[in-house]
Amino acid sequence: MKIIEGQEFDVIVAGAGCAGFCAAVQAGRAGLNVALFEHFAMPGGTMTVLGSNSIDQFNNPHRPRGDRMVIAGIGWEFVEELARRGFADIPDMDAPYRVHWQYGVRVNPIAAAQCMDDFLLAANVRLFYRQGVVAVETSDTPGGTSLDAVIVTTKAGLVRHRAKIFIDCTGDGDLCAWSGAEFQIADSPQPGTMRLYPCATTSDQQALAEADRAWRAMLAKRPELSNFLLCGGDITGFLRAGGDNTNHVNGLNAADSASRGKAEIEARRAQVALMSALRAAEAPVNILGSAPESGARESRRILGDVVMTGEEYLAKTVYPDAICYTYWFIDIHRENGPSEIVYLRDELTPTISLGAMRPRGLKNVYVAGRCVSSDRANNSAIRVKASCMAMGQAAGAAAAQAIRQGTTDTRAVDTAAVVRYLKEQGAIVPEPQDRPGAGN
């Protein structure tokens, strides 16, 4: 098939989720010619299209009051603007809440996507929605493999676009993997979640209890569905959460198309079983709809110059090239049985290494978001949205510094200059005194 010749950019960002959004905005604000390619029809990824609309976590609640924010920059600017528009609920980040999710920023997915559009357009980013990357073109250079172009699908056919620097924010590390980068993936990745949108027409506890009994009766006949609803299979818990993050889709390997297709079929089967149980009980509860596909918690982890580990995360390691903070807990979901959870309980805060964002063997590529270089335990904590926003902004700033230096070699970039620029842009970056060797 003939490939149509497209355009040439300074920076191409693949994936418009939380990481890709911040990467593109940061690179665009630096005055670069930036293109953002996204296979969905809107930005936001998991937060908008897939409906997991809580952004966690911008703060470390164990730090001194008034100094608890550990992630700011473009991600925080975005939620503040969305709140001004009336479509985000920002909790008190200094409040002594009892559970972690109470610090999450709840957003309206539709308004969030439109607000992201505004940020991207204001930064002069060229937006290519419904134009996902399907292939790459590379060449061998003395400094490693160079990613020269991406091939995207459009209604006109396949189109080739070129850039000096590429940022892989696809979540599955597609650009990196297709370019030959090393990666790891678990034999059995964590279950995904397909966001459901329930509606209860009554708050009558007796009626809801009857609905719960109907679901449990269904489970007695269909035990294979027992892990679909979380909250212990409790319908009332499902409703309190608004269907968000309340089910497991097992067998979901997001980096394997056949596996993904099979898992989606099983997810729909479980959804209909739930609706059938509610209908049979004449319960005042209905499922109005669901996300178009399941959100993945885990797939490829691209191996970079640095591989961040769970041990380092729990030790709150500040890497020599730490480029941003991250805050969540070790959170490995299991197909059957409870999740593996290890909470953080002091004011020290884990960090992200810029070296983890440079894929081994690739010369002009950064990776940010869920697919960043990390082991399984570390990845289960850093995959959350606020951390992805911080990584994305850092990648955009690093790409801008590379262009300023006249290089396409990510390893030639002045890290100190990237740190200074991020601070100028309102990001929170680990301070020099916190880094190894400081004061020696």
Residue-level pLDDT at 224: 67
* Interatomic CA distance for residues 440 and 432, integer angstroms: 12
Question: What is the predicted pLDDT for the residue at 202?
Answer: 65
List the chain domain ranges: 4-186+299-434, 196-290
CA nearest 216: which of 243, 234, 239? 234
Q: How many CB atoms lie within 10 A of CB 156?
A: 7
pTM above 0.75, yes or no: yes
> How far is 259 from 255, CA to CA, in rounded Å?
8
**Dihedral pair phi/psi, residue 95, rounded to 5°:** -70, 145
Q: Are 414 and 401 in contact (CB under 8 A)?
A: yes
Question: Among 181, 210, 180, which residue's Cα sits nearest to residue 285?
Answer: 210
β-strand pairing of 351-353 with 322-325 = antiparallel
Measured over the CA atoms of residue 413, residue 414, residue 420 and residue 423, the dihedral's sign is positive
CA–centroid distance for 260 within its chain:
18
| Mean pLDDT, each 10-residue run in order, the chain (440 residues) | 94 98 98 98 97 95 94 98 98 91 95 98 98 97 94 97 98 98 94 88 72 77 69 69 84 92 90 82 81 94 98 96 97 84 94 98 97 97 98 98 97 96 97 63
Tell me what pLDDT residue 311 has.
Answer: 97
Report the candidate in 405, 403, 370, 394 with the shortest Cα–Cα distance to residue 384: 370
**Domain 4-186+299-434 belongs to what topology?**
FAD/NAD(P)-binding domain (3.50.50)
What is the structure's pLDDT at 440?
A: 45
- What sign results for the dihedral spanned by CA atoms 94, 100, 101, 106? positive
